[in-house]
Amino acid sequence: MRKIKLLFKLYSEGVSKRKISLQLGISRNTVAKYIDFFKRYQFTGYEISAMTLEELDRLFKSDQKPKPEKLVILEKYFPYFDKELRKTSVTKELLWQEYYTKHPDGYQLSQFRYWYREWNKEVSPVMHFTHKAGDKLFIDFTGKKLSIVDKHTGEIKDLEVFVCVLGSIHM
C-alpha cells in the first residue's frame, strides 16, 4: 500500500508511468491499472495522501468480487498449515491431503498451493535485500541430522548438517 501511495504521488507530480514502473519495481500495466482505478473514483492527490494504509487496503478489497465459499473454508485452515509447515518433514502436499480428506469437493493441489501462496503474501510480507556479492555469509543448521556408519566399529553416528550461502545481488 505504501507503493500505491508513492505511485499516485509520483503520477500527480507528472512522472511518467514508465519511470514510476522502474522506480517502484512494478510493471507498467500494474501502474496503469492503479492510475485508472484512482481516476475511476476521481480521487485527488490530497485524498490519497490523507488515507491510511488500512483505508487504502479496504478500498481495493471493496472493489473485488466476494470470495467463493470453497476458498473461505480453505483459508480457515491456513494459520494451522502455516504453523505445521514450520515442523520438520511437513510438506504442502501432506497438508493438502489432510485438507482434501475432510473436503473431497475442495481445491486440488495446484490451486491449494496457489491460494496458500496468495494468503501468505498478505500475512507475511517479504522484504528483499540487495547484498554486495560475497559481502555477507548466511549460516544455519538444517535441523535434521545425517547418520554415518563407522566402517571399523559399525557404530552409527549422527551428524549436524551446516549450511552457508554467500549473499549476492539479485537481478
pLDDT digits (tens, 9 = 90+) for 46-104: 777 777 777 777 776 665 567 788 998 999 999 999 999 988 889 999 999 999 999 99
- Report which of residues 47 and 136 the model is more confident about: 136
- Burial code (b: 16+ CB inside 10 Å, e: under 16) for 53-64 equals eeebeebeeeee
pLDDT at 126 over 70: no
Write down the pLDDT at residue 67.
77
- Specify the pTM: 0.49
Nearest CA among 71, 4, 76 for reference residue 37: 4
Band of residue 170 on the pLDDT scale cut at 50, 70, 90: low
